[in-house]
Amino acid sequence: MAKFDSQDHQHLRYNPLRDDWVLVCPHRMKRPWAGHVEKPEEEQIPRHDPKNPLCPGNTRPNGKVNPDYESTFLFTNDFPALLEEGPAPEESSDPLFRCAEARGTCKVMCFHPWSDITLPLMSLPEIRVVIDKLAEINIDLGKKYTWVQIFENRGAIMGCSNPHPHCQVWASSYLSNEPSIKHRTQREYHLKHNSNMLLDYVNRELQKKERVILENEHWVWLVPYWAVWPYETILLPKAHVLRIEDLTESQKDALADITKRLLTKYDNLFEVSFPYSMGWVGAPTGKYLSEDCNFWQLHAVYYPPLLRSAKVKKFMVGYEMLATAQRDLTAEQAAEKLKGLPEEHYKNRKSDSS
């Protein structure tokens, strides 16, 4: 029988952060990936749309008027999933019908006054302002709430309802499912190995190199060994950082740099504003601020749905819903593909040559 080759033969990979497995089936990729590109029409977004509720100076459907903001703009979501106040359910000891109180708040943050710009096309100082604001929000909401989830849904395919560049922040009184798993796995790893899981991981990846796409003085962008989505990536600091607000000035500058570079590569992959859900994950807040959370490491995750082109997405259905997540393209192949892409944004290249 042929010798096992991870780029050729089916296998399972373990995700130590989520304590689960992914099935990798590279033999289904027999034909070489030739970058079949179906280009969609480039969406024409006006810089300022008087009807867009996220634009500066506009009146939102609930009658609130946005300021004439010139940089970022933070406001409380007009349709929040989580409310600060409200009646709480009665506690029940029934194991089959458990219920718990949920309180929180939801914010929206616009990155820029223009609707026709995205993070990779923004300047480094503009991206840096966004990072500073996210750190402030985490401090502010973290005083009261256990979990502050900063996330960005980009693209209609990811459920984003508005093309204006923005992210959301949901803060909750409870530790949500995903961070709760990561809290347990990082703590257990620390207890067992007396070191930090993601710091060990990033150092091993820097030695191996095969999944690293980009790095700078303070950050590493890579396709994790256990990635599920075709071009899923993780952004990790090289040093130990618990929360976004703990980043130093130079780590934040470097974060602006790598954010612009990585999002440019993503956009260049299929020459489209690359859709994804991304989010920041660091040590929990609220009552955890006074606990030892040193086993945590701040990281950002990017989950993009596209598989083969700007129009062909991966569906997490069937076997994946019922059994185990599965991928064909290996993490190493995805990293190689992203690594080979230019760092100049395709939109800038086009405008240079026209």
Cβ closest to ligand H2U, residue 122 vs residue 329: 122
How is 110-126 classified by DSSP, letter by letter? ES-S-TT--GGGS-HHH
Distance CA(54)–CA(62), nearest Å, equals 12
**Cβ(197)–Cβ(16) below 8 Å:** yes
Q: Which stretch binds ligand H2U (CB under 6 A): 87-95, 96-104, 155-163, 224-232?
A: 155-163
Binding ligand H2U (rule: CB under 6 A), the pick from 15, 77, 180, 216 is 77
Q: Phi first, then psi: what are they for 3, rounded to 5°? A: -70, 145
* Using rule CB under 6 A, residue 162 touches ligand H2U: yes
- The count of chain residues that interact with ligand H2U, using the rule CB under 6 A, is 12
* Using rule CB under 6 A, residue 275 touches ligand H2U: no
Distance CA(259)–CA(253), nearest Å, equals 10
Structure tokens, 168? 């959301």
* Using rule CB under 6 A, residue 56 touches ligand H2U: no
- Compute CA 199 distance to the chain's CA centroid, rounded to the nearest angstrom: 19
Binding ligand H2U (rule: CB under 6 A), the pick from 66, 105, 118, 168 is 168
How is 44-76 classified by DSSP, letter by letter? ---S--TT-TTSTTPBPTTS-B----SS-EEEE
* Using rule CB under 6 A, residue 52 touches ligand H2U: no
* Using rule CB under 6 A, residue 60 touches ligand H2U: yes
Handedness of CA 112, 153, 60, 137 (dihedral sign): negative
Give the nearest distance from C-beta 116 to ligand H2U in angstroms: 16
Q: Which stretch binds ligand H2U (CB under 6 A): 94-102, 129-137, 160-168, 272-280?
A: 160-168
What is the footprint of ligand H2U within residues 89-148 (CB under 6 A)? Answer: 108
Which residues are catalytic, by number? 166
Contact residues for ligand H2U (CB under 6 A)?
53, 60-61, 77-79, 108, 153, 160-162, 168
